[in-house]
Amino acid sequence: MTSSDLWTRETAESYDDPNDWVNSPEVTGPVARFLAEVADGGPALELAIGTGRIGVPLRELGVPVTGIELSQPMVDVLRRKASEEEIPVVVGDMAAAEAPGLGTYALVYLVYNTISNLLTQDEQVACFANAARHLAPGGRFVIELWVPTLRLLPPTSVATTFDVSDRHVGLDTIDTATQRLTSHHFTKDGDSYRRGASNHRYIWPAECDLMARLAGLTLESRYGAWDRSQFTSDSTSHVSVWRKPA
Protein backbone atom coordinates (compact mmCIF):
# COMPACT_ATOMS: atom_id res chain seq x y z
CA MET A 1 0.00 0.00 0.00
CA THR A 2 1.28 3.45 -0.85
CA SER A 3 2.37 5.76 1.95
CA SER A 4 0.52 8.71 0.40
CA ASP A 5 -2.12 10.48 2.44
CA LEU A 6 -5.56 9.42 1.24
CA TRP A 7 -7.72 12.42 0.41
CA THR A 8 -11.11 12.13 2.11
CA ARG A 9 -14.52 13.10 0.76
CA GLU A 10 -14.38 16.34 2.76
CA THR A 11 -11.05 17.24 1.16
CA ALA A 12 -12.28 16.28 -2.30
CA GLU A 13 -15.38 18.46 -1.98
CA SER A 14 -13.28 21.52 -1.08
CA TYR A 15 -10.40 20.83 -3.48
CA ASP A 16 -11.82 22.94 -6.33
CA ASP A 17 -12.36 26.01 -4.14
CA PRO A 18 -12.87 28.86 -6.65
CA ASN A 19 -11.18 31.26 -4.22
CA ASP A 20 -7.95 29.24 -4.32
CA TRP A 21 -5.62 30.81 -6.88
CA VAL A 22 -4.33 27.42 -8.10
CA ASN A 23 -7.78 26.68 -9.52
CA SER A 24 -8.01 29.85 -11.59
CA PRO A 25 -7.80 29.67 -15.42
CA GLU A 26 -4.81 32.01 -15.20
CA VAL A 27 -2.95 29.17 -13.45
CA THR A 28 -4.38 26.04 -15.05
CA GLY A 29 -4.40 27.42 -18.61
CA PRO A 30 -0.60 27.81 -19.02
CA VAL A 31 -0.04 24.37 -17.45
CA ALA A 32 -2.47 22.70 -19.86
CA ARG A 33 -0.99 24.51 -22.87
CA PHE A 34 2.57 23.51 -21.89
CA LEU A 35 1.54 19.86 -21.51
CA ALA A 36 -0.37 19.90 -24.82
CA GLU A 37 2.74 21.12 -26.61
CA VAL A 38 4.87 18.42 -24.99
CA ALA A 39 2.30 15.72 -25.84
CA ASP A 40 2.56 16.84 -29.48
CA GLY A 41 -0.72 15.26 -30.51
CA GLY A 42 -0.31 12.03 -28.53
CA PRO A 43 -2.26 10.71 -25.52
CA ALA A 44 -1.41 11.72 -21.96
CA LEU A 45 -1.51 9.94 -18.60
CA GLU A 46 -1.84 12.01 -15.44
CA LEU A 47 -0.58 10.38 -12.26
CA ALA A 48 -2.70 11.50 -9.27
CA ILE A 49 -5.26 13.17 -11.52
CA GLY A 50 -7.37 14.24 -8.56
CA THR A 51 -10.49 16.21 -9.49
CA GLY A 52 -9.19 16.93 -12.98
CA ARG A 53 -7.88 20.43 -12.26
CA ILE A 54 -5.38 20.00 -15.13
CA GLY A 55 -6.72 16.90 -16.90
CA VAL A 56 -10.02 18.51 -17.87
CA PRO A 57 -8.54 21.66 -19.50
CA LEU A 58 -5.87 19.51 -21.18
CA ARG A 59 -8.57 17.34 -22.72
CA GLU A 60 -10.37 20.49 -23.88
CA LEU A 61 -7.21 21.30 -25.85
CA GLY A 62 -7.67 18.05 -27.78
CA VAL A 63 -5.30 15.80 -25.83
CA PRO A 64 -6.73 12.36 -24.89
CA VAL A 65 -6.25 12.08 -21.11
CA THR A 66 -6.25 9.02 -18.84
CA GLY A 67 -5.68 9.18 -15.09
CA ILE A 68 -4.50 7.19 -12.11
CA GLU A 69 -5.84 8.37 -8.74
CA LEU A 70 -5.64 6.86 -5.24
CA SER A 71 -8.72 8.59 -3.80
CA GLN A 72 -12.17 7.49 -4.97
CA PRO A 73 -13.79 10.68 -3.56
CA MET A 74 -11.48 12.77 -5.77
CA VAL A 75 -12.56 10.71 -8.79
CA ASP A 76 -16.19 11.21 -7.82
CA VAL A 77 -15.71 14.98 -8.05
CA LEU A 78 -13.93 14.58 -11.39
CA ARG A 79 -16.95 12.67 -12.69
CA ARG A 80 -19.05 15.83 -12.38
CA LYS A 81 -16.82 17.37 -15.07
CA ALA A 82 -15.99 14.44 -17.34
CA SER A 83 -17.39 10.94 -17.84
CA GLU A 84 -15.40 7.70 -17.72
CA GLU A 85 -15.52 7.62 -21.52
CA GLU A 86 -14.11 11.15 -21.71
CA ILE A 87 -11.35 10.70 -19.08
CA PRO A 88 -10.81 7.07 -17.99
CA VAL A 89 -9.39 6.76 -14.48
CA VAL A 90 -7.80 3.79 -12.71
CA VAL A 91 -8.19 3.96 -8.92
CA GLY A 92 -4.83 2.94 -7.52
CA ASP A 93 -1.29 3.78 -6.47
CA MET A 94 0.53 6.06 -8.93
CA ALA A 95 3.79 4.20 -8.21
CA ALA A 96 2.39 0.82 -9.22
CA ALA A 97 -1.04 0.93 -10.90
CA GLU A 98 -1.29 0.11 -14.60
CA ALA A 99 -3.45 2.22 -16.92
CA PRO A 100 -4.94 1.02 -20.22
CA GLY A 101 -2.57 1.63 -23.11
CA LEU A 102 0.61 0.69 -21.26
CA GLY A 103 3.62 1.74 -23.33
CA THR A 104 1.68 4.01 -25.70
CA TYR A 105 1.55 7.40 -23.98
CA ALA A 106 3.33 10.39 -25.48
CA LEU A 107 3.20 12.14 -22.12
CA VAL A 108 3.02 11.12 -18.47
CA TYR A 109 2.85 13.97 -15.98
CA LEU A 110 2.67 14.85 -12.28
CA VAL A 111 1.83 18.41 -11.25
CA TYR A 112 1.62 20.51 -8.10
CA ASN A 113 4.35 18.72 -6.10
CA THR A 114 2.37 15.48 -6.08
CA ILE A 115 5.30 13.05 -6.30
CA SER A 116 6.31 14.29 -2.84
CA ASN A 117 3.11 12.68 -1.49
CA LEU A 118 5.02 9.40 -1.72
CA LEU A 119 6.84 9.34 1.60
CA THR A 120 9.71 6.97 0.82
CA GLN A 121 12.52 7.12 -1.70
CA ASP A 122 11.72 3.59 -2.85
CA GLU A 123 8.18 4.59 -3.78
CA GLN A 124 9.38 7.69 -5.59
CA VAL A 125 11.86 5.60 -7.59
CA ALA A 126 9.02 3.18 -8.39
CA CYS A 127 6.88 6.10 -9.56
CA PHE A 128 9.51 7.14 -12.10
CA ALA A 129 9.74 3.53 -13.26
CA ASN A 130 5.95 3.31 -13.57
CA ALA A 131 5.87 6.49 -15.63
CA ALA A 132 8.61 5.15 -17.91
CA ARG A 133 6.84 1.86 -18.59
CA HIS A 134 3.68 3.72 -19.62
CA LEU A 135 5.57 5.92 -22.10
CA ALA A 136 5.90 5.15 -25.77
CA PRO A 137 9.44 5.35 -27.19
CA GLY A 138 10.33 9.03 -27.41
CA GLY A 139 7.62 9.93 -24.87
CA ARG A 140 8.14 12.45 -22.08
CA PHE A 141 7.66 12.49 -18.32
CA VAL A 142 6.93 15.93 -16.81
CA ILE A 143 7.03 16.83 -13.11
CA GLU A 144 6.26 20.10 -11.34
CA LEU A 145 7.95 20.22 -7.94
CA TRP A 146 9.06 22.78 -5.41
CA VAL A 147 12.71 23.23 -4.50
CA PRO A 148 13.28 22.53 -0.78
CA THR A 149 13.56 25.79 1.17
CA LEU A 150 16.17 24.61 3.64
CA ARG A 151 18.30 27.72 3.28
CA LEU A 152 15.35 29.66 4.75
CA LEU A 153 15.34 27.43 7.84
CA PRO A 154 16.95 29.34 10.74
CA PRO A 155 19.35 27.44 13.02
CA THR A 156 17.50 25.38 15.68
CA SER A 157 14.16 26.01 13.91
CA VAL A 158 12.05 23.20 12.44
CA ALA A 159 9.55 25.28 10.42
CA THR A 160 9.38 27.76 7.56
CA THR A 161 6.40 29.93 6.58
CA PHE A 162 5.37 29.73 2.92
CA ASP A 163 2.20 31.83 2.89
CA VAL A 164 0.60 34.55 4.98
CA SER A 165 -2.51 36.13 3.49
CA ASP A 166 -5.96 37.34 4.54
CA ARG A 167 -7.46 33.88 3.94
CA HIS A 168 -4.59 31.50 4.62
CA VAL A 169 -1.50 30.89 6.74
CA GLY A 170 0.80 28.07 5.70
CA LEU A 171 3.96 26.67 7.27
CA ASP A 172 6.15 23.62 6.75
CA THR A 173 7.73 21.59 9.53
CA ILE A 174 10.85 19.80 8.29
CA ASP A 175 12.91 16.80 9.35
CA THR A 176 16.17 17.09 7.40
CA ALA A 177 17.36 13.63 8.47
CA THR A 178 14.51 11.85 6.67
CA GLN A 179 13.59 14.54 4.09
CA ARG A 180 10.10 14.42 5.56
CA LEU A 181 7.98 17.56 5.62
CA THR A 182 4.48 18.36 6.82
CA SER A 183 2.59 21.30 5.34
CA HIS A 184 0.20 22.92 7.81
CA HIS A 185 -2.64 25.03 6.43
CA PHE A 186 -4.84 27.41 8.42
CA THR A 187 -7.64 28.62 6.14
CA LYS A 188 -10.16 31.28 7.14
CA ASP A 189 -13.65 29.85 7.38
CA GLY A 190 -16.09 32.53 8.50
CA ASP A 191 -14.93 33.89 11.84
CA SER A 192 -12.58 30.98 12.53
CA TYR A 193 -9.77 29.05 10.82
CA ARG A 194 -9.93 25.52 9.43
CA ARG A 195 -6.75 23.49 9.94
CA GLY A 196 -5.41 20.96 7.47
CA ALA A 197 -2.13 19.14 6.98
CA SER A 198 -0.40 17.01 4.36
CA ASN A 199 2.74 14.89 4.55
CA HIS A 200 5.56 14.89 2.00
CA ARG A 201 9.07 13.68 1.23
CA TYR A 202 10.99 16.45 -0.47
CA ILE A 203 13.28 15.68 -3.41
CA TRP A 204 16.13 17.74 -4.81
CA PRO A 205 16.26 18.24 -8.62
CA ALA A 206 19.48 16.22 -8.82
CA GLU A 207 17.81 13.34 -6.94
CA CYS A 208 14.95 13.47 -9.46
CA ASP A 209 17.47 13.19 -12.29
CA LEU A 210 18.99 10.09 -10.71
CA MET A 211 15.55 8.51 -10.30
CA ALA A 212 14.87 9.28 -13.95
CA ARG A 213 18.18 7.71 -15.00
CA LEU A 214 17.35 4.55 -13.06
CA ALA A 215 14.07 4.41 -15.02
CA GLY A 216 15.89 4.79 -18.34
CA LEU A 217 14.88 8.43 -18.88
CA THR A 218 17.11 11.36 -19.85
CA LEU A 219 16.68 14.98 -18.79
CA GLU A 220 15.56 17.01 -21.79
CA SER A 221 14.81 20.39 -20.18
CA ARG A 222 14.23 22.09 -16.84
CA TYR A 223 12.45 25.38 -16.28
CA GLY A 224 11.75 27.61 -13.31
CA ALA A 225 8.03 27.70 -14.14
CA TRP A 226 5.43 26.71 -16.74
CA ASP A 227 6.29 29.81 -18.78
CA ARG A 228 9.65 28.19 -19.57
CA SER A 229 11.57 30.77 -17.58
CA GLN A 230 15.16 29.85 -16.75
CA PHE A 231 15.78 27.55 -13.80
CA THR A 232 18.39 29.14 -11.50
CA SER A 233 19.79 28.72 -8.01
CA ASP A 234 17.09 31.14 -6.83
CA SER A 235 14.18 29.22 -8.34
CA THR A 236 11.61 28.08 -5.79
CA SER A 237 10.21 25.35 -8.06
CA HIS A 238 11.01 23.51 -11.27
CA VAL A 239 9.20 22.00 -14.21
CA SER A 240 11.35 19.15 -15.50
CA VAL A 241 10.99 17.12 -18.69
CA TRP A 242 12.63 13.72 -19.11
CA ARG A 243 12.47 11.69 -22.32
CA LYS A 244 12.36 7.97 -23.00
CA PRO A 245 14.77 6.88 -25.75
CA ALA A 246 13.13 6.60 -29.17
Domain spans, the chain: 9-148+203-243, 150-197
What's the mean per-residue pLDDT of the chain? 91
In tens, the pLDDT along 135-185 reads: 999 999 999 999 987 777 777 777 878 788 888 888 888 888 899 988 888
**Predicted structure pTM score:** 0.90
Q: Confidence class of residue 194 from pLDDT cuts 50, 70 and 90? A: confident
- pLDDT digit string (tens) for 21-79? 777 888 899 999 999 999 999 999 999 999 999 999 999 999 999 999 999 999 999 99
- 213 pLDDT more than 80: yes
The DSSP line for 181-227 is EEEEEEEEETTEEEEEEEEEE---HHHHHHHHHHTT-EEEEEESSTT
Share of the chain above pLDDT 70, in %: 98
pLDDT for position 1: 59
* All residues at 6 or more sequence positions from 68 whose CB lies less than 8 Å from its CB, including other chains: 45, 46, 47, 48, 49, 89, 90, 92, 93, 94, 97, 99
The CATH number of domain 9-148+203-243 is 3.20.20.70:
no
